[in-house]
Structure 1
Amino acid sequence: MEPSSSNSGFFQELPEIKNQFHDDVSIQRVLKLLVPPEIIRDVEPELAQLGADVLDPHIFDLITDAERNLPYIKGSGRNALGRETTELVTGEGWRGLQSFGIERGIVAYNYTTDYGPFSRLLQMLRFHIWEPSSATTTCPGAMTDGATRLLQRHLAIDKATKDEAKTLDPTQRAVFQNAYDRLTSRDPQRAWTSGQWMTERPGGSDVSQTETTAKHVGMGGGGDVDTDGLPLGPWSIDGFKWFSSATDAGMTILLARTQEGKGLSAFYAPMRRQRPDSAPATTVITNGNRQTSELNGVRIQRLKDKSGTKPVPTAELELKGMRAWMVGTEGNGIREIATVLAITRVHCSIACLGNTGRALGVAKAYSLKRTISGEAGGRSRLLLYRSPLHMQTLADLTTEYHGLMLLTFYTSYIMGIEERQSHSQAQGIVVGSSSLVNVPPQLVGPLLRALSSLHKAYVCKQSVPLLHAAGMEALGGVGYLMNSESESMNMARLFRDAIVNAIWEGTTDVLSTDLLRTLTHKKAGKASLDALEWLVVTAISGESSSAGSAVIATWKGLRQRIESTPTDILLADARAVLYAASEILIASLMIADAGSDGSPSAVAMAGRFLLKKGFLAKDSAEAKAASNAPVEQRLETDTTIVYGPAGPDIQHTARL
């Protein structure tokens, strides 16, 4: 045997993966369960093209550039002679990836397409496909989406109402409309992203101790205008924002206090204002271009050094005389920012699932290339996908992923109904054997209030071990490496970037508390419980097995506990309550999915999830049948779960 060297001996062949839109069985099943066939046929070509484009080598080059050329403040905030400057520089890779997302309308899609309540779900599916190739440009994308919806809602109220208290004055309407048009533009030269500034030093999700203040100063002189020549607004804001992502954004939505006792108010502020010719260029954001604008009363104190999402310019910001427009009424800021949070929380789940889907895709492809020793350590070699143990592991991971996908995209669909403010567009639509899309109008709001906290907490937390197992452990030591020289294999980056989502927009404990407060609210709690019960019962309708009965019985027990236990005791156990509710909903959705077409792999996944989460007893007939099946039969079932009904195709053509 010849000894190996740096250029001779064994070299593992790089895995070759397929377009995720076609290859990800969960994507196809989510569409089939929730979206009408005629819409699927209409959107398939564009989704398939996006799935191909995000794997283009140029995209991976941009990712590597974004990771290597991180944002920085030029001169550490001072020019050569000591004058204070705030000049933020971002890399070409970051800007290129942002432009790609803008041109593809990743945010704009929900606001510029006419698929009724399905537009939101389809938009989130596009985010899902784009996420692992985006180098986390989807983070400002999420905040942009939330800000767009907030402005859209106020512009719609202004158009529909006769209540003068809710009517925007013509100038503010023009300002909001201009911002909305920029947020939904597909032209990178015109489009804006948006920040979302809540976090301050006294607390993260707890904004009750906000120290930022706003003072009404009037419209000022004619020179107080943004870069589009529109008035900056009558409010002047001072304070310090401790954790502000998307520092290179064109605008922001933020919270501040007004008069004593009024509580928090929400504000819209453009990031830049026109700079008088005589003023020194002290607060310019640039990427090599001469600027005639300055930041709108903002000074970047420093950029955060994070363990992940490193290309995102996240900063500590000092606000001094930042001019802004109030959004909504004074003291109603929490309610206004809730519109943004409901959307960014879905984005957090999508970010986790997008990265997990890519990791599973790479693990599947790797299993078709990597060999291991055959039986009893013999000299024969065996491809990983023929290993019963390895395929059982991937099948278990795929099952968990599929359940999280169903919960998240169903939440997206409910959000789509709520945003359209009319259930009539979904009436009469039945996809397969599921009536889950026909939500009674009075249950849409209560259902979304419960799902908003529930899905984000559970999905983001459960995705962490999935990403570790599928993206890193399944590839062995290679999965732990950054692999920037072969960016498509950089599973460590996906893991590092995704885990923050369990913290952003509410930690697991915060969201568990939110859920319990929703379900135990004196007036609205019963409506949310009724909505969740409708979902469970509707999903399992027609299912006569012991599994369906067990899920309903478990829900009944959980509801009784919520309704009969003192709130202080429930709050101490809020995380367990949220986990139990999440797993009941996922089990229900998996039963509905399996029943929609009787797919053997969907039936197997549902049974596997029900057994793992305790809905089926370990000594049940279903459990015994699964555990006593011959090894080859189990391998065939697991392979179908992982690779789909067509099975693995070892003749791939799209090399990464």
Structure 2
Amino acid sequence: MHLESTALALRIASTDGVETHKVLNQARASVGHNAFTGDVALYERVASQAPWAIANATSLGALAGDEEVQELARLANEHSPVLRTHDRFGHRIDWVEFHPAWHRLMALGFGHGVAGLAWTTREPSGHFARAVLSYLWNQVENGTGCPTGMAYAACAGFAGRPAFALWREKTLSGEYDPRRLPLTQKTGAVIGYAMTEKQGGSDLRQTQTMATFVGKENGAQIFAITGHKWFFSVPTCDGFYTLAQTKSGVSCLFVPRFLPDGSLNRVLLQRLKDKCGNRSNASSEVEFKGTWSMLVGEEGRGIREILSHAHLTRLDFAVGSAGLMRQALTLAIGHASTRDGFGRRMADLPMQTNVLADLALESEAAMLSALRIALATDSMETDERERLLARVATPIVKYWNCQRATTFVYEALQVHGGNGFIMENPIARLYRESPLNSIWEGTTNMMCIDVLRALSREQGALEVFIDEVSGQGTANAAHASFLVRLRDDLAAAVDEGNARAVVTRMALALQASEMLQHSPGSVAQRFIESRLGGRHAGVIGTLTSGTDLRDIVARAAVTAA
């Protein structure tokens, strides 16, 4: 009887709701802030260059710090898209079902002008202001940054071409319309790209897809395409730019999802890719079988046509990686500032302070350099100097920001410890996302080769770049020596095998110039002495100790909304 009473007591004790421990010392979620107004460096830069954009950026910045919107980002990545090749009756539909969170995010992004502001505003510095929105949007959700960026670039191909006037109008409407309908029945359009093939990868000259001329309709040359594309992102887009071989060579063609008579075009989805990151966004393989398409630009000059769009997508990835880094920094500072370790606030531990300050320097430099090439893009048509700078600096910044993003997010994840490696923590999602931009629109090696190509083919590009990075003067003797060595190396023929080393130094020189111009002197000095002065080991958190590191962290901490 005594034993039975003891067992009963144990069972009661195990089910009476008594907690085994209390939840203590967990960091607060990084929400409740405005990613624009709370970001001192960004706000100051926009206020000086494009104050008219402050209102829209403030609205979008509030979304980045909104708990409900961040939950939408989590849900969109938690519930992967699903391919539906046929409906329940057996009809081919070639469609993808996205979680409702994806559609809500898309509506927010397109509605705030993340895709179209550069083309719709009459104010100066439209590409600059649109880059600010993209920078903020990449602190909301990265998968939806793909379609907003593609729509941004697509409008360059539509411009000045009457056959594509309605496409441009719908793409710039600011409306997101997910319905599977012909363009004429929709309030807005989403545009995609289909370039990569299995055998060619980034080498678009290896395109095997074929296109045959079939006639003219409403002033457009019509081709029938047959072939396979290896990467086909956002396959629910209303239309797609693609490449195919015609009699004149590789040509750029535009494939609408619906034919002029309202029937479905032959866009046959094969499967969805199971990607490491970018889980909210569907990427697929597609077959074209006699698929109806319209010629874009001059036949046989398709790669040149696509590269004119690629300037904008590369700019967007440079901006996007900077935004991703900023979000990782916000999460890291937020975690370390609201959790204790070893008897002190984590952000106050000397080594952790060094890491956070170093991340803050890296983030600010990435943001400023990305906005600089966006500003150059604004004047490409009217200012030869800015055109040359945009031509050489865009691949530089795309290379460096995308290259650094992975290292950056890895260090931000380390600030979180084991909690950061759990998928329900947003820093884990950023970690899986961070390598992608360095692959899209040209890998690291391709960007470095493109820099060398620009320097060799564009007369005056070298001189413009050197003038740009030297125009703010030098912070110290080491900075001056760095620029002299860079100038000498660029004046000589750069060996392709050494391209990464040289382009890395070009990126750092450009970032230093921007920091000198737009950041407080002490912040710029810290960046330059560490990156250009030979005191940085290439590892985050190796700054020389000093009381000013706390001030750098405080400057980078987003304030409450």
Partners of 1:648 and 1:579 in 2: CA distance: 28
Partners of 1:59 and 1:396 in 2: CA distance: 29
Matched residue, 2:349: 387
- Please, which of 264, 275, 278 is the counterpart of residue 250 of structure 2? 264
Which SS does the other structure have where 2:472 is aligned? helix
Q: 1:345·1:505 contact (CA, 8 Å) conserved in 2?
A: yes
Which SS does the other structure have where 1:476 is aligned? helix
- Please, which of 412, 421, 440 is the counterpart of residue 480 of structure 1? 421
TM-superposed deviation, 1:412: 0.7
Alignment of 1:181-220 (within 5 A): 181-189=169-177, 190-219=187-216
The code of the aligned residue for 2:258 comes to R
TM-superposed deviation, 1:148: 0.8
- Please, which of 345, 350, 354 is the counterpart of residue 323 of structure 2? 354
- Please, which of 278, 281, 284 is the counterpart of residue 315 of structure 1? 284
Partners of 2:363 and 2:508 in 1: CA distance: 13
Alignment of 1:538 onto 2:471: yes
Alignment of 1:228-627 (within 5 A): 234-259=222-247, 262-273=248-259, 294-373=263-342, 381-418=343-380, 421-422=381-382, 441-470=383-412, 472-483=413-424, 489-521=425-457, 524=458, 526-540=459-473, 543=474, 545-562=476-493, 570-594=495-519, 599=520, 603-615=521-533, 627=544
Matched residue, 1:12: 26
Q: 2:475·2:528 contact (CA, 8 Å) conserved in 1?
A: no
TM-score, normalised with respect to structure 1: 0.76
Alignment of 1:27 onto 2:15: no
TM-score, normalised with respect to structure 2: 0.88
Q: In the superposition, relative to structure 1, how do residues 391 and 294 fare at CA in structure 2: closer, same or farther (>3 Å)?
A: farther
Q: In the superposition, relative to structure 1, how do residues 236 and 580 fare at CA in structure 2: closer, same or farther (>3 Å)?
A: same
TM-superposed deviation, 1:587: 2.0
TM-superposed deviation, 1:368: 2.2
TM-superposed deviation, 1:231: 9.1
The code of the aligned residue for 2:363 comes to Y
Which SS does the other structure have where 1:22 is aligned? coil
Partners of 1:204 and 1:559 in 2: CA distance: 30
Which SS does the other structure have where 1:86 is aligned? strand
Matched residue, 1:63: 73
Unaligned runs of 5+ in 1: 156-172, 221-229, 276-292, 374-380, 423-440, 484-488, 619-625
The code of the aligned residue for 1:389 comes to M
Partners of 1:198 and 1:330 in 2: CA distance: 16
Q: 1:355·1:495 contact (CA, 8 Å) conserved in 2?
A: no
Backbone CA RMSD of aligned residues: 2.5
Q: 1:446·1:528 contact (CA, 8 Å) conserved in 2?
A: yes
Q: 2:243·2:251 contact (CA, 8 Å) conserved in 1?
A: yes
TM-superposed deviation, 1:27: 1.0
Q: In the superposition, relative to structure 1, how do residues 460 and 16 fare at CA in structure 2: closer, same or farther (>3 Å)?
A: closer
Matched residue, 2:147: 140
Q: 1:216·1:235 contact (CA, 8 Å) conserved in 2?
A: yes
Q: In the superposition, relative to structure 1, how do residues 20 and 80 fare at CA in structure 2: closer, same or farther (>3 Å)?
A: closer
Partners of 2:55 and 2:532 in 1: CA distance: 41
Q: In the superposition, relative to structure 1, how do residues 544 and 21 fare at CA in structure 2: closer, same or farther (>3 Å)?
A: closer
Unaligned runs of 5+ in 2: 1-17, 178-186, 537-542
Which SS does the other structure have where 1:272 is aligned? coil
Moved more, 584-593 or 352-361: 584-593
TM-superposed deviation, 1:16: 4.4
Partners of 1:9 and 1:453 in 2: CA distance: 48
Query: What per-residue deviation string (whole Å, max 9, x for no partner) do you get for residues 519-576 of structure 1?
Result: 123xx2x411011012022232xx57424522431332222333xx5xxxx1122211
Q: 1:24·1:361 contact (CA, 8 Å) conserved in 2?
A: no
Partners of 2:22 and 2:341 in 1: CA distance: 20
The code of the aligned residue for 2:525 comes to G
Deviation beyond 4 Å, 4+ runs, structure 1? 4-7, 78-85, 230-233
The code of the aligned residue for 1:121 comes to F
